[in-house]
Structure 1
Amino acid sequence: MSSNPNNNETAQQRRERLLLAQAERQRIRDEETARQEAEFAAEMERLEEEAAWEEEQKRLAEERRIKEEKRIAEERRIAEAKVAEERRIAEEKRVNEERLAERRKNEEIRLAEVRRREEERAAEEAAAEAEENQERSYAYAKLVEENKKEKEKAAKELAKQTKHILAAKQRQVDVVITPQPSGSKKTSFKSKSVISDDSEDAGVEVEVKE
């Protein structure tokens, strides 16, 4: 008949064996708990890291979104500023062209007025010169006419004098000598023209002293 070892154990030995088994089970449970806790801690750390990574990604995405919005806003601002500048330049160009056209128009009007005044002045000067020339021509013609009359008068006078001279050469002369108390002689010449029609009888007395 085989013997049971448990039958040979004392109560003390059974208590020690039970305590050891209990301690072993507790150790196993502690190790399992520690492993689970470690796994839980690792999982929590992983989850926290994932959450942190996701948060970082969200932050980076938000930064990129803000940056992109700023870039788009800046591009829009630049485009609007460019359009506004182009409009300003176009408006300034239009205003300058209008002012230039207005200045050209005014200058053309001024030049036309200057030309008109110059033409009027030239016409007035030409009319005045023509009138002056006409007056000069009239004065010259009058002077020529007066000179002609003077020449005709001088010619008539010369002809008259010539007739007198010729008549004097052909006159008959009578000489009468009359004694004078002072001892001088007075000779009287009396001649009568035989040629001149418009001459009168002339008497010339010549006094000769002795």
Structure 2
Amino acid sequence: MTATVRVVVADDQELVRGGFAMILAAQPDIEVVAEAGDGVEAVAAVREHDPDVLLLDIRMPRMDGIEAARIVCAETGCKVLMLTTFDHDDYVYDALRAGASGFLLKDVRRDDLVNAVRVVAAGEALLAPAVTRRLISEFAARPTPRPTRELAVLTARERETLQLIARGLSNAEIAETLVVTEHTVKTHVSNLLTKLGLRDRVQAVILAYESGVTIPGSD
């Protein structure tokens, strides 16, 4: 039997918040345990209900979604899925640096929203294609990065895997590229995340670009 994904929905617009909550609550494997109207309420709800996923708007009163995400990711194992009408580079980068596991725009389709919650709850990272392009552009505009010493702990194959993750490949696609099984790829991914002290694939992508392991436009 599939475990129920427990979700907190945080958005300062009541109709938007209620709409998202209704869509998610209609799913047999998702339970909306609380709603929040701002960042302060969102953090309090996570502390009280210990959900699997926090669906979090970026622009909210009292405490914005970036700061709320930073607190939640630092204190708990709750996955944060950012959902906003704003897709500016700064918001994307700051949200991911804060520890968010996913980033979608509010014009996302109903089915894609539900899928995003399930994917993030399962420990995977999820970025809308437009967001991925913006993130890569953000790094492309930066000065040449310097190698990070901590990457020395990775094996050659783990480093290859990190490069492919940064290119946006799925486990299945990485397995095909490296001519190994998908199970082997999952092991490599798990090992490199553990060695580098990263929460998920999003943080791995950020580190890959910041350290120069992957250069934007090098595909």
Bin the TM-score by the shorter chain.
under 0.3
Which gives a bigger RCO, structure 1 or 2 (Cα 8 Å, sep 6+)? 2
Greater Rg by CA: 1
Q: Which has the higher helix share?
A: 1
